[in-house]
Amino acid sequence: MGARAAEVVVIAPRVVGPTETWRHATTQTAVQTRRLLVRWWRDPFTVVQSLLFPALLLVVLNTVLGKQISAAAGSNALYGSVPMVVLVGVMSGSLAGAVTLGRERDAGLLARFWVLPVHRASGLAARVVAEGIRILLCTTVLLGVGTVLGFRFERGVSAAAALWGVPLMYGLGFATLVTAVATLGAKAALVEAISLASSLLMFFSTGFAPTHAYPGWARPIVEHQPMSHAIDAMRGLAAGGPVREPLGATAIWSLGALLVFAIPAAVGYRRASRR
């Protein structure tokens, strides 16, 4: 009996150990990324939040306010509303993903993954990769809807390709913030508060109306909030105009969010997985 017990103790590390090395982290991350993408695709809430709602919002804005905004701005309103709606889709998808993460934590699914023989970093890394894929997919779909409505890439192929990078950079920074809040905060009200704040950012941005259309007290907020910088960068890449300054400001906001919230997100994810 003692020999058998000793044999089990010796064999167990040989089964668990190799699967937790960095050599297997890439494969394990790919498997978990696929799981997240399939789950999000099969979740009606996530699809509606990240694709259907922004697409309908774009159509409504263009139908109801398109002419008025174009007249006030002196240019086609789609070059502001399309980037704005793309960012709305990016943020809405991240918020839906945070809700899903909270459900997995409460259901104990994260804790089950924690005790499996997989690399500890693969779960969080998979969420980053899945977020990036989702952001690119949402950007492609919503830009396609905008193209049907009249949005055009007037600065060539290279600028159009660079345009896809703006919502990706912005979205990863926002997703890091939301993940930190979702894992460290015990209440879903925190995620809902971020959702409300992101909605206010939409209405107080240069994509909804030109800066001079806002009252004086609101103009500094509209000009310097992160969503406006990203919208201006995407507008410049699509139709022409300043690119370097708004793109640099977007990078500062996004990298700042990553630096500030990356460690709290990792700590919160680890804590949620060990419950």
Render pLDDT for 192-218 as a digit per residue (tens, 0 to 9): 788 888 888 888 998 888 888 889 898
Average pLDDT across the chain, whole number: 83
User: Which of 18-32, 141-155, 202-216 bottoms out in mean pLDDT, i.e. has the lowest?
Assistant: 18-32
What span, in angstroms and rounded, lies between the C-alpha atoms of 16 and 85? Answer: 46
What span, in angstroms and rounded, lies between the C-alpha atoms of 271 and 179? Answer: 12
**Residue 30: DSSP 8-state:** H
Q: What is the mean pLDDT of residues 126-130?
A: 91
Q: Quick: pLDDT tens for 242-255.
A: 889 999 999 999 99
Q: What is the mean pLDDT of residues 104-119?
A: 79
- On whether the CB atoms of residues 84 and 60 are closer than 8 A, the answer is no
Percent of the chain with pLDDT over 90: 33
Q: Is the pLDDT of residue 221 over 60?
A: yes
241 or 17: which carries more pLDDT confidence? 241
pLDDT of 105: 81
- Within 10 angstroms of residue 225's Cβ, the number of other Cβ atoms is 18
What span, in angstroms and rounded, lies between the C-alpha atoms of 168 and 29? Answer: 20
- Within 10 angstroms of residue 256's Cβ, the number of other Cβ atoms is 12
User: Of 181, 202, 187, whose CA–CA distance to 91 is shortest?
Assistant: 202
Q: Is the pLDDT of residue 111 over 70?
A: yes
- On whether the CB atoms of residues 274 and 114 are closer than 8 A, the answer is yes
Question: Binning pLDDT at 50, 70 and 90, where does residue 16 land?
Answer: very low
Q: Is the pLDDT of residue 7 over 80?
A: no
Q: Is the pLDDT of residue 173 over 90?
A: yes
pLDDT of 3: 45
Q: Which two tokens stand for residue 132?
A: 């990036």
Quick one: the chain helix, strand, coil %, rounded to 5?
A: 85, 0, 15
The type of residue at 25 is A
Q: Is the pLDDT of residue 167 over 90?
A: yes
pLDDT of 95: 87
pLDDT of 77: 85
pTM: 0.86
User: Of 230, 254, 252, 253, whose CA–CA distance to 242 is shortest?
Assistant: 230
The type of residue at 64 is V
Handedness of CA 249, 251, 255, 258 (dihedral sign): positive
Rounded to 10 degrees, what is the CA torsion of 21, 26, 32, 35? -150
